[in-house]
Structure 1
Amino acid sequence: MFFKAITGAAVAVTISAAAASAATVNVSSISGNWSGVTGGSNITGVGTSSITWGDGTAPDSGYDFNAVGTPLTDVTSPFLIGDFVHNNFPIPSGSSITQATLDITVTGTVDGLAFLITESFVFNHNETPNSDPCPDASAGTGCDIVTLVSATGTGAVVSTGSQLVSLVIDGFATSDLVFYTDENQSNTAGIYASFEISPVPLPAAGWMLLGGLGGLAAMRRRKKTA
């Protein structure tokens, strides 16, 4: 097995320990289901966290999403939400998929206020002949190639009063878009989410009020000096 790398659509955000202590982020549920499968024969598991394809005899090739256990309390950014797993096994007959979509949903709270974030990851799948050498320069043969082609979704922004907490599913922790799995092997990649804390912007009227108060203070100082 040779893991080259795979990544999502965003870069994980690093926040200071001081900022992280200003809000408590808890995760109550994580789910990931496979949808929009293209091609393949004897497909099972569409709409669940695991899909397989092939000739219907075990073990079949497939994709899994293994969510971490919940609840997660007082998480720090970034945090693991689950693993994507590619299981590559021979397909004596039948056909392979060419594309599949993984839909992930994460729910939780920030200082007791609810959030929900979603992301869809679209993978292209290239089922190579088992006798072909792997294109990744490893010693294996029959490496199937998985490519992340898009990642789209919605983040969440929670206002705790004086602060905004922005949450997003970042995707995979590494920086490339392609990885290879040798025949009769599995490949695993962690999927992460993160959050960023920032002050709530002061409305324009508030800045005008502060400017007016500053002007009054300056006038008082000038009168005292006179």
Structure 2
Amino acid sequence: MSEVTTSGTWTAITPTPPNVSGLNTGHIAWGTPAGGGGKSGYSFSGRTIEVKSDGTEVTLGTFTHQNFPIYGGGVDQFDVDLVVRIRFEEDVEDREFSFRFHHFETPNDGPTPDDEVDLPTRVSPESVTIDGEEYAAVITGFKRNGEIVNKFHSPENGSNSADIVAVLSRVGAPDVVITGVCHKGGVKYTQADEYVEIVNQGTAHADISGWLLHADDPGQNFTFPPATTLRAGQRIRVYTNEVHAEWGGYSYGSGRAVWNDKGDTAYLVDAEGAAVFDYGYGTEAP
């Protein structure tokens, strides 16, 4: 475990929208204001955190999108590069990790006017050596209102923030884990909205074709279909009887509840039958 301090600067924007300002600072802005709210832009605020090399997720910093109506000069999608500087307590110099944010400036008069921010690549190309092992930083999502999501939706006419959640992971390997079980659904009787959340915290993509998710009871097995790849940093959910495309679209298709309301264990097994991960949930977890 190491205490680190983070900070960040925005270093590039491609292709370039009009009226860009703030390159190589902690706040970058763009566009010609279409109203009284000013330009749109990103900022990053660092913090002091405890970082572990055991897959524990930490908040790397806070990402903010100042989202106002602008004229974009015909450039509505572009990439914005962020360099996060991390000062490990035992170092005299900062370590730099770079990430790319993909921005979609959606039409304000469309059915989904919220702008979208995504991460096309979640693994930093830079690494750090800890106890002889090489590690890279992997962003596993945007945390807002207590929920970690893959893509950040930013409502118009305001300042919208989310914590950037990341892990330090060994270079060159996937690391697929269960991070949560929503075992008490809100849908009466069937609890169709129950789900298990699975994340690849590793630096490499994982082929999870044929992997099994189960609760150790008959009829509670879900098998991932052929050609299923869990990208590095990607977060998915397997629902009891709902389909959510933004979480991968996976569902047991069960007309009754799968997960014990009082608690139990969720198991993840690979295609060869080897145990990958188990996750105890609820008050009666073993």
TM-based fold match above 0.5: yes
Kindly tell me: are residues 95 and 86 of structure 1, through their superposed partners in 2, closer, same or farther at Cα, counting changes over 3 Å?
farther
In 2 relative to 1, CA 119–169 (structure 1 residues): closer, same or farther, beyond 3 Å? farther
- Could you tell me which residue of structure 1 aligns to residue 116 of structure 2? 145
Q: CA deviation at 1:167?
A: 5.4
Deviation at 1:53? 1.6
| Between structures 1 and 2, the one with greater helix share | 1
Pick which of 143-152 and 93-102 moved more: 93-102
String of CA shifts for 1:16-44, please: whole Å, max 9, x gaps: xxxxxxxx402144323241332311111
Larger relative contact order (Cα-Cα within 8 Å, sequence gap ≥ 6): 1
Instruction: Give the aligned length.
Output: 158
The residue number in structure 1 matching 2:153 is 180
Alpha-carbon distance, 1:63 to partner = 1.5
Deviations 1:143-165 (A, max 9, x none): 22333222342221222xxx758
1:184-195 equivalences under 5 Å are 184-195=157-168
Report the CA distance shift for 1:58/1:153 in structure 2 as closer, same or farther (over 3 A): same
More strand by share: 2
Secondary structure, counterpart of 1:106 in structure 2: strand
Provide the identity percentage: 22
For residue 131 of structure 1, give the secondary structure of its aligned residue in structure 2: coil
CA distance in 1, matches of 2:130, 2:72: 51
Q: Where do 5+ consecutive residues of structure 1 fail to align?
A: 1-23, 135-141, 198-226
**Closer, same or farther: CA 50–158 of 1 in aligned 2, 3 Å:** same
State the partner residue of 1:126.
Answer: 105
User: Given the two structures, how large is their TM-score scaled by the length of structure 2?
Assistant: 0.46
Runs of 5+ consecutive residues of structure 2 not aligned to the other structure: 143-147, 171-286
TM-score where L is the length of structure 1: 0.56
Q: Give the alignment of 1:1-226 within 5 angstroms.
A: 24-55=1-32, 58-68=37-47, 70=48, 72=49, 74-75=50-51, 77-91=56-70, 94=73, 98-109=77-88, 112=90, 116-128=95-107, 130-134=108-112, 142-151=113-122, 152-159=124-131, 164=133, 166=135, 168-173=137-142, 174-176=148-150, 178-195=151-168
